[in-house]
Structure 1
């Protein structure tokens, strides 16, 4: 019985430590017009390029990030600019990692679970890409006062399984709502 109580106590300590560390994790916040919040949606859009099977496809992409308690997922993605772009299909959601500190005030993110299919010639590509948000809080004054887009210029690039590469084009993607990283 003593061993059972000790095991139960150890399990509660581990669970308590996990819950405490989760409460102090880094994440993302968006500006709702009056406060920084950790729940809601933001659309990040701009010029992108995909290369697959020797074909280079410049598109304009829009990615909807849904934040839940600071954790983000890409819950919608649209591609425009040509028939090759509008024909891209995707399997969602894609997970966005918690931000980590980058150079200066920039933050790094990884988007994983990407699954896209190009129409002609047909090709499916899967995997993860790394991205960078240049400032953890680029808005001055804080809180933001002007209407968007907000030029945080999210940049990303990566190689996906299936022989594809994807990346932003200069200058990067902008958000329709201010977005920033927070750290414990």
Structure 2
């Protein structure tokens, strides 16, 4: 009887461990001024370039990253700098992958579901880009020790269907609040 109890206990512990580990996933946190939280928004902005149909368009882009329980989406995107930039339309939201460990204190992200339309000549481009968010170490200090800009830098590039490519321009995009990754 004692062996049966130990076997049952071991099975419950193993099942609980598997159930618990599958419930946790990597994600992002933002600093709300007093704590790291997994719900809220951050704006990542800076110089970008889009090339479509042989036209290169330098813009300043701002992407609103909305976190819900650590999962991120791009819920708004604005483009400024020229008529070609301000005329870009987009279909949102865009999905942001869970972070994966990068070099040093960086994490890698993929933004997918991108759908943008350039005004003249009209061209729609869709797809995904990959990027690296520097200084997103999951062990970032609590509270963050340096004043912004934070996450120096988010750098990305990608080729989209429709004959387009997009990328950051030097030095990259920065966030208005600290962002860090967490891993299970």
TM-score, with length taken from structure 1: 0.85
Which secondary structure does the structure 1 equivalent of 2:85 belong to?
A: helix
Deviations 1:118-167 (A, max 9, x none): 00000000000001012333997541255432242100000000000000
23-32 or 116-125: bigger deviation: 23-32
Counterparts of 1:58-137 in structure 2, within 5 Å, are 58-137=58-137
TM-score, with length taken from structure 2: 0.85
Residue 21 of structure 1: how far off its partner (Å): 3.8
Number of aligned positions between the proteins: 169
Counterparts in 2 of 1:54 and 1:18: CA distance versus 1, 3 Å? farther
Structure 1: gaps (5+ residues): 1-15
Q: Is the 8 A contact 2:115 2:124 kept in 1?
A: yes
Q: Is the 8 A contact 1:97 1:110 kept in 2?
A: yes
Structure 2: gaps (5+ residues): 1-15
Which runs of 4 or more aligned residues in structure 1 lie more than 2 Å from their structure 2 counterparts after TM superposition? 16-23, 135-142, 145-149
Larger Rg: 2
Deviations 1:51-109 (A, max 9, x none): 00000000000000000000000000000000000000000000000000112221100
Which secondary structure does the structure 2 equivalent of 1:84 belong to?
A: helix
Which secondary structure does the structure 2 equivalent of 1:34 belong to?
A: coil
